[in-house]
């Protein structure tokens, strides 16, 4: 089943959607991704972990750094040995 909706969007979002071959699919994927984030946050809350903007910023910074070559080599070795 599907439902039709009318929404108001910022210009940059509307322009991006105008370039998509299937606007409905693009919006559906974006909304489902947001729904998944909400579900993840609920699971984390139930486990006693409260997601905060400060915590997100720390992880963004930490994950932006490249993986050290020795750690990358060790990870590849572990994958190779597991297979």
What is the band of 69 on the pLDDT scale with cuts at 50, 70, 90? very high
**Spans of all domains in the chain:** 11-82
pLDDT per position as a tens digit, 44-68 = 999 999 999 999 999 999 999 999 9
Gap between the Cα atoms of 21 and 29, Å rounded: 13
Asked if 9 contacts 17 with a C-beta cutoff of 8 angstroms, the reply is yes
Average pLDDT, whole number, for the chain?
A: 95
Asked if 52 contacts 44 with a C-beta cutoff of 8 angstroms, the reply is no
CA distances from 76 to 51, 62, 66, 70, 82 (A): 31, 21, 15, 10, 10
């Amino acid at each position: 089943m599907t439902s039709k909706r009318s929404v108001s969007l910022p210009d940059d979002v509307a322009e991006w959607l105008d370039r998509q071959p299937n606007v409905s699919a693009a919006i559906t994927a974006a909304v489902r991704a947001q729904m998944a984030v909400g579900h993840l946050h609920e699971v984390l809350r139930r486990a006693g972990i409260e997601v905060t903007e400060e915590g997100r910023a720390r992880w963004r910074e930490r994950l932006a750094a490249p993986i050290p070559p020795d750690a990358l080599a060790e990870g590849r070795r572990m994958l190779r040995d597991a297979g």
